[in-house]
Amino acid sequence: MTNGSRYVTDELLEWEDRLLTAASKANSMEYDMFRDFEIDVKKNPELLA
């Protein structure tokens, strides 16, 4: 790197954003799936039997 700059494209910025937000998006999706499962089990407790 010369003068502390780097080569950046729009595509690289998109990938950077995807990588930096992937963990929080995955956690949010997992929580939503758990909540859906919890609702289904409360409606139909026999599903666990």
The per-residue pLDDT for range 9-49, each reduced to its tens digit, is 999 999 999 999 999 999 999 999 999 999 999 999 998 88
Contact indicator for 47, 41 with CB cutoff of 8 Å: yes
Rounded CA separation 43/32 (Å): 17
Rounded CA separation 20/23 (Å): 7
Contact indicator for 48, 41 with CB cutoff of 8 Å: yes
pLDDT at 2 over 70: no
Give 48's contacts (C-beta < 8 A, 6+ positions apart): 41
The pLDDT of residue 48:
84
pLDDT at 4 over 70: no
